[in-house]
Structure 1
Amino acid sequence: MRNVRPYDSEQPAKLRRRPKKQPTKKPDCGAIGEAGAHESAIKHVTGTALYVDDMPEPPGTLHMAAGGSLHARAKIISMDLSAVKAASGVVDVFTHEDVPGELDVGPVYAGDPLFAVNQVEFVGQTLFTVVATSYELAQKAVALAVVEYDVEAPVVTVKDALQAQEFVLPTHTMQRGNAAASVAGAAHRLSGEGYMAGQEHFYLEGQISLVIPTEDGGMHVHTSSQHPTEVQKLVSEVLHLPLHQVTAEVRRMGGGFGGKESQAAAVSCAAAVAAHHLQCPVKFRLPRREDMERTGKRHDFAFNYDVGFDAQGCLEGIHIELAGLCGYSPDLSEGIVDRAMFHADNGYFLNQAKVTGHRCKTNTVSNTAFRGFGGPKGMVAIECVMDDIARHLGEDPLTIRKRNLYKPGKDTTHYGQTIEQHILPDLIEQLEQSSEYWERRQSIQAFNRQNRYVKKGLALTPVKFGISFTAKHLNQAGALVHIYTDGSILVNHGGTEMGQGLYTKVAQVVANEFGVDVSRVQVTSTRTDKIGNTSPTAASSGTDLNGLAAKNACETLRQGLLAFACEQYSVSESQVVFANGEVQVGPTTLPFGEFCRLAYMNRVPLMAHGFYKTPKIHYDRENANGRPFFYFANGAAAAEVVVDCFTGEYRVERVDILHDVGKSINPSLDIGQIEGGFIQGMGWLTTEELCWDDKGRVMSNSPANYKIPTAFDVPRDFRVAIYEGANNEDTVFNSKAVGEPPLMLAIAVWAALRDACASVADYKMSPRLDPPATPERVFMAMQAAQQFVASTKLASENQESEAIYEK
């Protein structure tokens, strides 16, 4: 018997009665700069927060499942769906022939058909959908399809794609000066390569949508999406409807991390096609296994470098080549590979530089956005270079990193943007001292000399992450603010809440503008019929954009209220103060609610629309030059690890983090993002291993065979601090974005593991250690270090023998 929900329309009335709700107090949240709880914190821990699958289902709701391809590359010879249609509970079956409008649902470029036509390009690509009276019956019916294929050999790896010159988009290059000549003329020269695997988003709430037909022939779409406007646009195109007939709504997501920026739309579009034909609500939820097999992930990246440097380890020239595994279609890969290229400098002055980015096409699911976009991949590549230079010169890697940091006179990036605020030198110096880096370095080296079978590693790595969408038009936001006559305030904006605390910060911004407690402010579901043409909640820009849009609306309202107060009480604007839930007008003090009622009675507008667009940014992609980022968020982490040389197993002993968030709006939320981002980054770099077979099937498709970090993986000694300093740019209260940058702090763990492996060779070489640095890879890196020692010893013995022979 299936579980019965209290609102299930199939059950008797007495079971459908809404359970009594106990009144819940909003979590306390202070003013700007004060720590406060997430606006849904109590709902999260008590289970009362509603996600799409928790919503009461409208009467007659049907459930959907999708039939996917069994092969990565094949022509479809025939497809017999008769047994599917005849299965128990099945109401209808849909294919590409049933789409009334556009078939392609690609977010930027074409290439993502809602249903496959004639051929398939990855395992799991949708062939048809089934609509049934229950989720279970729909899932069972899907398995009855009989499909005949003409199977072809797939392209699965980056190496295969490069050899075949298979790309989803053209190669792009960023260049400053003459890198080749500078590398060739440098006193020292190194080259190397590596491979960074992808990462599964593993959001707690999977991809899901509930689509309800409206009385005017449109659709109301409840979606778990970071980009409701894109869902609205693509549903309207698929159904051949004007945009105003489609409303997309998002109250919250159970995690997104980029996985719901573009790929949530296809789920809504498929459900919308069925809802259009059947004229009833349709819910489409992917089970975890299918979600992991059929949705995109963080891109794999291969990289190689050729670098020239002086005796101090300072770069004179470098060529970095990055190749992203994009999958079968472009999706967001243009911007993702661009972002990897932008961040191939991390915090370092590359001098004469050439950075090349390839977008490789493979017969795998189309990879997509992931926290950091492509930035982490470029950063790992340059941190590998810093380690290799240090080992070559016999220096500590931190020394080489500090010598190459951007500084006045060496502050122009390889894409032409000037670094205007040099935070990293001071931030790193503070972390060096607070983490006791040099004292620990000495004790770790002594430990490694005394212990043959257990080694320790230590690394301190920086982060410089550019904040803004690199697609300029996305850097805009709108907000709508209502003040009611009791003094309560309702806010709607274009950002989506996925657990990061955006709604909480926006509520704080609005409360601050009117001098009221945040409990007076309610932020409502993101809806495209309230705020149209929204940008995705991504690129760490949610608070920057939507917070300032809301602030702009509040300023309009305040100006109207100020003018009213001055006219009503014959005072100047300087005599009107909004504070402590009251409005002081000269000698008169009124509660905020009473003042709002008075304003209403005098026909003063109590609602306003706000808008914000990011200034200063521009980028000429043809010439690969400009200012794509409004500002940079910075940080650094020091990580210490201990490794078992017999097995490669390791433990992260201690992590010290100092991170730059400007003037924090809410330190509790910011520290939570720093901690969570770091742990997710550590998972990508250590335990989370995506496994594919040579047929293009993802083998790591469940929690049983894909290992995200658990509470036991959190460093035993975990110290997180916020760097004191306001943003020099005019952001919302001079704060800085904090969503994505902390993920890259975890590079320190990978570098520390590499440091431990290098200790086996007395730090004379840097063994290759491709992320994720699983125990197996760590063991192999240590074996490589031991082989280096053996070969060096043998070479030395041979030289001695030759010298004796000659003598």
Structure 2
Amino acid sequence: MNKPEPITAIAPAVPDTWAEVGKPHPHESARLHVLGEATYTDDIPELHGTLHAALGLSQKAHAKLRGIDLSAVSQAEGVVAVYTARDIPGMNDCGPIIHDDPILADGVVQYVGQPVFIVVADTHDHARRAARLAKIDYEELPAILTPQEAKRAQSFVLPPMHLARGDFRRAFEQAPHRLRGELHVGGQEQFYLEGQISYAVPKEDNGMHVWCSTQHPSEMQHVVAHALGLHSHHVTVECRRMGGGFGGKESQSALWAACAAISAARLKRPVKLRPDRDDDMLVTGKRHCFHYEYEIGYGDDGRILAAKVEMVSRAGFSADLSGPVATRAVCHFDNAYYLSDVDILAMCGKTNTQSNTAFRGFGGPQGAIAIEYVIDEIARNLSMDPLDVRRANFYGRSDEEGRNVTPYGQKVIDNVIHELVAQLEADSGYRERRAATRAFNAASPVLKKGIAITPVKFGISFNLPHLNQAGALVHVYVDGSVLVNHGGTEMGQGINTKVAQVVAHELGLDLSRVRATATDTSKVANTSATAASTGADLNGKAAQDAARRIRERLTGFASAHYQVAPEQVRFADNQVFFGDRAEPFPAFIRHAYNARVQLWSDGFYATPGLSWDAATMSGNPFYYFAYGAAVAEVVVDTLTGEWKLLRADALYDAGKSLNPAIDIGQVEGAFIQGMGWLTTEELWWNASGKLMTHAPSTYKIPAISDCPEQFHVKLFENVNPADSIHRSKAVGEPPLLLPFSVFFAIRDAIAAVGDYRHNPPLQAPATCEAILDAVEAVRAAP
């Protein structure tokens, strides 16, 4: 063996407390965001000869295409080419699961806004203007626009899903109390700040490079390859970052990627497709609205003894991701509550509207809000505090047998909802504030206050087990700097920051020494979408695996080269420690390179223990559950329907947080976004099936003025019992359920109009009009 090289430093004791995970680092691109230097797809310098595309859209909800006259389009200023379905060289389909979603309509249109043709011109403006010159002859067909109409017509994109446990009918008939009712919860536009966009550049030998704002580069690769009649290895899809996604760029970015690539392939020139906001909202799907009919049996203590619900969603004209969304809604109907005898039926209504898709929560919020509505009704019927009814129905504590199995058969072994809610109740002063709202209402005839506390139990993992896998690459360069590439996509949620922290921690480095690069299908292949709150879980584990492999090689080298036992080698504080000696990481890496040690590695991770039987709607679809709870206090003007959120307190279980600053930011953002869904964000189609809320002028997302002056968000101290990345928990989707508390606080305020004797028939979103309708209903009640 060669004589060991001189040590460049004599080390103090190895810093046992050193860690790079768990620190509140800022987002890795925060400085670039603030300075305007962060590169999004539309910021990529355009290559010479770049053309711009626009889509010609259907003006009818359901019709046969008897004739399409595109002569005026072709002759318009700047137009280079016009393409229809017959010009697609490969498959005319962009459906993510079922092939029922054409890229361009062929023979029939199925919603107002469906793309019929592509026009390519020298400028964006010329393309958009030309697209409006088409003359299309339609033969109109009957249209179905609402989920209720779809249910009556038995019009579904997929067979209904049914989950049953116990004997609902027997339990319902024997229950001391019974209630029946209906609820409608509207959909929601993703309203990402950066709209849909794709930039396709032809490469040699039939290659195609697509820069795309997408949550699922691998799926975009597949769709583009199929549309062009090529193999996946011909297509590279790259995404450095998105200006928001929220699920709207999981599957529905495929249409834009395919149209740009088809045009680029035919013209042999780069083509960019960036719709204006109006077209974006007209074409793309949103969160599914749901309509519910329920029957509930319950006891004198408020405990639910039997629960039946039939829920039908507005799926739109094609399946898209409606099946998995409905599955997750079924699996979250229980929320935080044990339900012994249940009968759950979920239907995906086929309607002549945009094909609805993924949205933060992915059906979970739509499933859980129904049971929360029921519990709110039960509490008012029994003149009980809703919190007490919720507690009576909670799953048993983690060490209890019996009340800890979900309707789909998974055992709840990590339940902390009892402790978490108790902490929030005390910290927020819920009981005292509830008494204060009632005192205020007794003396206030017009303004009414309301308060509510709601819990969250949310399952983490994709419903399809095979999607729960991820890969990563880690490179250590000779100067000691580190590069990581993984299959997740950055949409502002901080996945690159967290993954870089994981790699830095594994190699004993400061975060500044690790850089994450753009997601690229030519680097990490066959990736799953960054969705279902699994981004950091899956890709963090894969990157950790890659970094660990490098560290183990380096440990072997250090052990042999410096003649110390492997257990005496440790990486921390930007140094490599061996015994009582240490060397700066860059110098050590130079020695390892000279010794021909491999300094890069791939990593892979597959979530263990998952199973799902779609036929029986049973299994273990989730690796673990995330928990949370929130208290909201509102004031409502019963003459105008206006309302204001006065204070919000949220407590969220992030396990051992990888980055508390990012996680708290995610909780805050999810809370406000979920509040918008349930209060101000109303989607409205006219009688002809046209979406009329297709711009910021007609669709109201929450603004800074809608945020409460008192907004308290904390992370619950907990350790994930599942072997997640550093025992952390996901933070993307579950907090969106926390603002249920806002909706039920508004309902509580409306109930005050009738001295809390009647259940207000409040529907979501609780717009000013919906609030007034509920107020009038309470006033008119006997």
Fold shared per TM-score above 0.5: yes
Q: CA deviation at 1:174?
A: 1.0
1:212 counterpart SS class: strand
1:536 aligns with 2:525: no
Partner of 2:554: 561
1:167 counterpart SS class: coil
Cα distance in 2 for residues equivalent to 1:743 and 1:34: 24
Partner of 2:288: 299
Cα distance in 2 for residues equivalent to 1:472 and 1:574: 36
Equivalent of 1:275 in 264, 273, 283: 264
Structure 1: which 5+ residue stretches go unaligned? 1-28, 792-807
Q: CA deviation at 1:173?
A: 0.7
On the 8 A contact 2:21/2:658 being kept in 1, the answer is yes
Q: CA deviation at 1:764?
A: 1.5
Partner of 1:99: 88
Residues 596-650 of structure 1: CA distance to partner in whole angstroms, max 9, x if unpaired? Answer: 1111111110010000000111011111111100000000000000111111111
1:425 aligns with 2:412: no
Q: CA deviation at 1:676?
A: 0.2
Partner of 1:220: 209
Relative contact order higher in (CA < 8 Å, ≥ 6 apart): 2
- 1:260 counterpart letter in structure 2: K
Partner of 1:523: 516
Partner of 1:475: 468
Q: CA deviation at 1:570?
A: 1.2
Q: CA deviation at 1:228?
A: 0.1
Equivalent of 1:129 in 118, 132, 141: 118
On the 8 A contact 1:354/1:414 being kept in 2, the answer is no
Identity fraction in percent: 51
- 2:392 counterpart letter in structure 1: R
- 2:753 counterpart letter in structure 1: V
On the 8 A contact 1:460/1:638 being kept in 2, the answer is yes
- 1:773 counterpart letter in structure 2: A
Partner of 2:755: 762
On the 8 A contact 2:20/2:509 being kept in 1, the answer is no
Cα distance in 1 for residues equivalent to 2:444 and 2:619: 51
Equivalent of 1:508 in 494, 501, 513: 501
Cα distance in 1 for residues equivalent to 2:588 and 2:759: 69
- 1:626 counterpart letter in structure 2: G
1:463 aligns with 2:452: no
- 1:339 counterpart letter in structure 2: R
Q: CA deviation at 1:171?
A: 0.2
2:20 counterpart SS class: coil
Cα distance in 1 for residues equivalent to 2:583 and 2:233: 42
Equivalent of 2:696 in 700, 703, 706: 703
Partner of 1:677: 670
Equivalent of 1:784 in 768, 771, 777: 777
1:271 counterpart SS class: helix
Partner of 1:653: 646
- 2:477 counterpart letter in structure 1: Y
Partner of 2:183: 194
Partner of 2:765: 772
1:303 counterpart SS class: strand
On the 8 A contact 1:255/1:498 being kept in 2, the answer is yes
Cα distance in 1 for residues equivalent to 2:45 and 2:261: 18
2:738 counterpart SS class: helix
Q: CA deviation at 1:216?
A: 2.1
- 1:51 counterpart letter in structure 2: Y
1:385 counterpart SS class: helix
Cα distance in 2 for residues equivalent to 1:422 and 1:80: 62
1:346 aligns with 2:339: no
Partner of 1:599: 592
Q: CA deviation at 1:588?
A: 3.2
Residues 152-204 of structure 1: CA distance to partner in whole angstroms, max 9, x if unpaired? Answer: 23110111111111000000011111111111111111111110000011000
1:170 counterpart SS class: coil
Cα distance in 2 for residues equivalent to 1:286 and 1:97: 22
Partner of 1:802: none
Q: CA deviation at 1:221?
A: 0.5
Residues 13-52 of structure 1: CA distance to partner in whole angstroms, max 9, x if unpaired? Answer: xxxxxxxxxxxxxxxx982111110000000011000101
Partner of 2:225: 236
Partner of 1:578: 571
Q: CA deviation at 1:305?
A: 0.9
Q: CA deviation at 1:266?
A: 1.0
Cα distance in 2 for residues equivalent to 1:474 and 1:732: 17
Q: CA deviation at 1:587?
A: 3.8
Cα distance in 2 for residues equivalent to 1:754 and 1:30: 46
On the 8 A contact 1:228/1:536 being kept in 2, the answer is yes
- 2:207 counterpart letter in structure 1: G
- 1:656 counterpart letter in structure 2: D
Q: How does 1:34-183 map to 2 (within 5 A)?
A: 34-183=23-172
Cα distance in 2 for residues equivalent to 1:373 and 1:152: 31
Moved over 6 A (4+): none
Equivalent of 2:614 in 601, 621, 626: 621
Partner of 1:387: 376
- 1:684 counterpart letter in structure 2: W
Residues 104-155 of structure 1: CA distance to partner in whole angstroms, max 9, x if unpaired? Answer: 1111001111111111000111111001000011111111111111112311
Q: CA deviation at 1:442?
A: 1.0
Cα distance in 2 for residues equivalent to 1:760 and 1:588: 74
Cα distance in 1 for residues equivalent to 2:772 and 2:645: 16
Cα distance in 2 for residues equivalent to 1:189 and 1:126: 48
1:438 aligns with 2:431: yes
On the 8 A contact 1:547/1:732 being kept in 2, the answer is yes
* TM-score normalised by length of structure 1: 0.94
Equivalent of 2:683 in 690, 703, 712: 690
Cα distance in 2 for residues equivalent to 1:216 and 1:773: 55
- 2:700 counterpart letter in structure 1: K
Equivalent of 2:492 in 474, 495, 499: 499
Structure 2: which 5+ residue stretches go unaligned? 1-17
Cα distance in 1 for residues equivalent to 2:19 and 2:97: 40
Q: CA deviation at 1:585?
A: 2.0
On the 8 A contact 1:663/1:733 being kept in 2, the answer is yes
On the 8 A contact 2:449/2:634 being kept in 1, the answer is yes
Q: CA deviation at 1:703?
A: 0.5
1:734 aligns with 2:727: yes
Residues 481-530 of structure 1: CA distance to partner in whole angstroms, max 9, x if unpaired? Answer: 00001000000000000000000000000000111111110100000000
Residues 334-384 of structure 1: CA distance to partner in whole angstroms, max 9, x if unpaired? Answer: 000111111101100111111110010000010000000001111110011
Deviation larger for 575-584 or 355-364: 575-584
- 1:58 counterpart letter in structure 2: L
Partner of 1:803: none
On the 8 A contact 2:148/2:312 being kept in 1, the answer is no
* TM-score normalised by length of structure 2: 0.97
- 2:317 counterpart letter in structure 1: Y
